[in-house]
Structure 1
Amino acid sequence: MKFDTFKSNLNSLKTEKLGGLEAQFKLAPGLRKRYDANKIRLSNPKKAAVLALFYPNKNNQTTFLLIERATYKGTHSAQISFPGGKIDKTDVNLQSTALREAYEEVGVIASEIEIVRELTSVFIPPSNFLATPFIGFVNQKPIFKKNYEVEQTIEVLLKDLLNDNSITTKLLTTSYMGKVNTPCFKLNNYIVWGATAMMLSEIKQLFNSSF
């Protein structure tokens, strides 16, 4: 999809009804489906926010940014995700959190980003976070400057996300989950699963409904 087409459809993207949990659960691990709204509330999750950043590549094709997190002793070590993190006391709201984290992790200046809309929050049981995604865009490809939390940046074509062949299942083993067949996206040969896949599932449905 050309970036001009993306921008010309932004009004539709802003007003289209979100798919919510129904869209997210198409790519949700079995562990996540065990948590209803009441169980999430009782978990008193920590608040976080992430940014799904869209921009034109050198061929003016609409792309978005994923990152591979650095390897560390923690729940989300080396996973593929959006830039983001937990809310800070200096953040005025979750949108500010998403913008601040994008700057800290990949060097994109907040004033250059136009936020399109907020999406449905995703509960992440292993780390007890409730993460709110925001769609945003910049008019030119940023010069990414990753910090110590980021192993690498990954540029994904929007058309690849919208291709149903990008959805698959994979037998995954993590520190908190044994061998389980898990729905996921395969994008640029990276396996994207868990909370990020749930967010992408809602984004995919939103774009398919809006464009």
Structure 2
Amino acid sequence: MNILIIEDDSSIQMLLKLSLEVEGFYPTVTGTVTEGLAELSARIYDLILLDLMLPDQSGFELLKLLRQTHKEIPVIVLTAKNEMNDKILGFQLGADDYLTKPFETRELIMRIRAVMRRMRIEPPAPTTESIHIGIIEIDRTECTLRVAGHLIKTTSKEFDLMWLLCKNPKKVFSREQLLDQVWGYEYYGQTRAVDMLINRLRDKLKPHGNVLATVHGMGYKLEV
């Protein structure tokens, strides 16, 4: 997930960059509106962290422009401006969230995950309630998992994780992604829970082969 930081304070730049990298994001730091727009024209970004007080132009003006030219990219405003009128204006101009300085990086990470989760929500559409892939059959309506024809008893979290992997059989999920999508951001930082759940599932699936593969340095995926 590529995140563009538009912030002129060097200490905050460093804090944001290091904090996001630790969480597995790919941050790019810029200090002016001009630099930020140049980055947006050169690369695709998933989210923007925007300071309102920039040296070459108001962050409000940039936010207004972003909603016209890059409306698909969520924007979280980071600012020392704590007045309610500024917050209202920020939301009116299209900010997806608003965080006042000083802030805890833990809260920022949680807000980023929450915004991205909202962006993934789409209008209701017909969905597949069962998936058959290789030796795996999983049915969301009945909450059943079968491997090679054998019914596997699972907990709700084990089932949710298998459903996610079966829907994305070629995708490698990092621990942070699995934690976010299966547990939710309130479990921020507890990636050990992912490893424990994977190990329990592997024990249950072991008689039928290595269904859950570890991609070293990246995460886990379904082994079809």
- Of structures 1 and 2, the one scoring higher in RCO (CA 8 A, sep 6+) is 1
Same fold (TM over 0.5): no
Which of structures 1 and 2 has the bigger CA Rg? 2
In the superposition, the TM-score normalised over structure 1's length comes to 0.25
Q: Identify the structure with the greater helix proportion.
A: 2
Q: Identify the structure with the greater strand proportion.
A: 1
